[in-house]
Structure 1
Amino acid sequence: MDNKRIGFIGVGAMGLPMALRLCQAGYNVVFTSRRDEAVQRLTAAGATAVPTPLLVASQSDVVMSCLPADDDLFQVFLGPDGVIENMQPGGTIIDFSTTSPMMIQRVAAEAARRQIRVVDAPVSGGVYGAERGTLTLMVGADGAVLEEVRPLLEVLGSQIYHVGDIGLGKVFKIINNLLAGTTLVLVGEALSLAANAGADLSLLYEVVKSSSGNSAAWTDAVPTLLQAAAEGDQPAPSPGFRLELMRKDLKLAEALGADLGTPLALTTLALQFYTAACSRGMAKEDAKQVGRLVARLANADLSPRASDGA
């Protein structure tokens, strides 16, 4: 894969550091972006900026994408002047987006008609993992195609799982975010109950972290929420994973459950908290901040002065 021309579409919070890692690994990268920061950083790293996805496709052997939603995936690959119509037969699409399984399967079906392979490879690990190349990739693809592109994926992730055919990558990622998103709501409930009971929240954090109630969400979210409360209920200025995106992912889980006849009562309930948070202007904040909304609804004060004085 060393001589392949790599296209990248979707150089946002996750896509930008991923594209930069490919540049740093010596790959020839062409991309499109309207964001000045992305253009400046990638061109400084040696990448080539072009105006449209059409031009990315026409100049690339492998097109990578990291896009927010189904509509974006449709427009980029299947819409007018889309990637599939302008990519040479024999090329490969690697999609890192968290979208529905049905949409990536639709893209793959259209791509196959032009002899273009598709790798369904959503990622987990956040901006931190994208910057350091430690992402987890959940790959739905033909095994031979995965092995062909593995050197590229190894630049981006430290854990690469072949989870099945195209579409199953999305299923695995949706389930991962179902667990993460619902647990963040539970973290908010636990802190609210503790605060209203007069518990020392910092001490509670340490106790649970070493007990059976611990989780990645607890370890990651609680310090963020307590810091926000200490600073006057102010969210962090640079969100890692936006609350509106977690809402989108829980909606994907809810829709998949409906399609498969699988009841997802807790997921549906958690989704309502994210919807309420978005309606209160929190959409662009980090998903962990859903716990602030839970605390407000419980009339719970998460600030250190409240718990310390109990």
Structure 2
Amino acid sequence: MTKSIAIIGLGVLGSAIAKFLLENQFQVYGFDISKKALAKFNNNEKFYACGSIDEIFHKESNILLCLPSAGSLHEVMQAIPNGKESEKNRRLLIELSTLPVDSKEKAREIAREKNIQIVDSPLSGNRVVALQGKLSAYLSGDAEDVQRAKPFLEAFCNKVTEVGDYGNGSKMKLIGNILNLVHNSVTAEVMVLGMKVGLEPELIHKAISGTFSSSAVFEGRGKLMVDNEYAVEGMNFSTPIKDSEFITKLAKDNFCAIAYISGRIAILFICYGTGVSGFRRSCCLCCNRKECKS
């Protein structure tokens, strides 16, 4: 039996999610302001390109939102049509984007005004794992909406964790991203110091992987450093720099010191300034080597 879902936002991550769902017996209704993004699915008979947000809301009750900015989310929320209070199966928005908590709260306010249900469920992972159906989701919202959204998330995520009240998903994602950012830049430092004392990158990666000192970031991005492979689609510096702004705001709003990550963020900007902004963040290795004059 073919299942169906809609998705608004077919960028780097959204298009990968749509592709995986299409390959796994889903009919997908999609909308994006970019005709080029929609055109990538022209040859897939299970993909239906919608011409507007209004059209997508009339085609499908369960709608994924995968958007690049708070402004984009606000525009989408303003454009969605009002639901009817009497509707037995109200429209459900499953908001997947990594954005500030207050942006998600504003989206919920608009959803309530329009009789639309919404859950906050940002994703952990990138395009590579999205194409494999191995993303993780931090699912938050009203209990009934969470249970309705969960099967759809499980269709393209290998881990879906319920984290409580609406907005907790974004809080969990942002604090988790602190580890992501720190592990990435520290992995580069480990590689550079190891090479400077005469160790081969391949040996460093092999020896540390799987030990107590290792991490998923070290094993994944460290391998890219070993292979000197940085030009992977959708994995450039714009995402961590954007996320670092959200993390800093969350800490500031809650009077919490995050001193260690501040140094990691500085490294991101150093890398950005060296002209590697189009490459994936694992090329922190290159930047660290330049700083160390290796």
TM-score, normalisation: structure 2: 0.89
Q: What corresponds to 1:252 in structure 2?
A: 246
Q: What corresponds to 2:104 in structure 1?
A: 104
Q: How does 1:71-150 map to 2 (within 5 A)?
A: 71-78=71-78, 82-83=79-80, 85=81, 90-150=90-150
> What's the Cα RMSD here?
2.3
State the alpha-carbon separation in 2 of the partners of residues 288 and 88 from structure 1.
Answer: 48
Q: What corresponds to 1:308 in structure 2?
A: none
Q: How does 1:9-28 map to 2 (within 5 A)?
A: 9-28=8-27
Deviation string 1:121-176 (CA, Å, 9 cap, x unpaired) is 11123223322222211101112111122221221112111101111111111122
Alignment of 1:7 onto 2:24: no
| Contact 2:105/2:167 (<8 A) preserved | yes
Deviation string 1:216-268 (CA, Å, 9 cap, x unpaired) is 1211122211222xxxxxx5332353221011112211110000000111112
How far residue 112 of structure 1 moved from its aligned partner, in angstroms, is 1.0
Structure 1: which 5+ residue stretches go unaligned?
Answer: 229-234, 301-310
2:28 counterpart letter in structure 1: V
State the alpha-carbon separation in 1 of the partners of residues 9 and 161 from structure 2.
Answer: 23
How far residue 59 of structure 1 moved from its aligned partner, in angstroms, is 3.4
Q: How does 1:1-310 map to 2 (within 5 A)?
A: 6-33=5-32, 34-36=34-36, 38-41=38-41, 44-78=44-78, 82-83=79-80, 85=81, 90-228=90-228, 235-300=229-294
Instruction: Report percent identity of matched pairs.
Output: 19
State the alpha-carbon separation in 2 of the partners of residues 210 and 148 from structure 1.
Answer: 37
| Contact 1:24/1:45 (<8 A) preserved | no
Aligned length: 289
State the alpha-carbon separation in 1 of the partners of residues 14 and 161 from structure 2.
Answer: 20
| Contact 1:58/1:88 (<8 A) preserved | no
Q: What corresponds to 1:232 in structure 2?
A: none
Q: 1:21 to 1:209 in 2, by over 3 A?
A: closer
| Contact 1:7/1:30 (<8 A) preserved | yes
| Contact 1:188/1:290 (<8 A) preserved | yes
1:260 counterpart letter in structure 2: N
Q: What corresponds to 1:231 in structure 2?
A: none
How far residue 25 of structure 1 moved from its aligned partner, in angstroms, is 4.3
Structure 2: which 5+ residue stretches go unaligned?
Answer: none
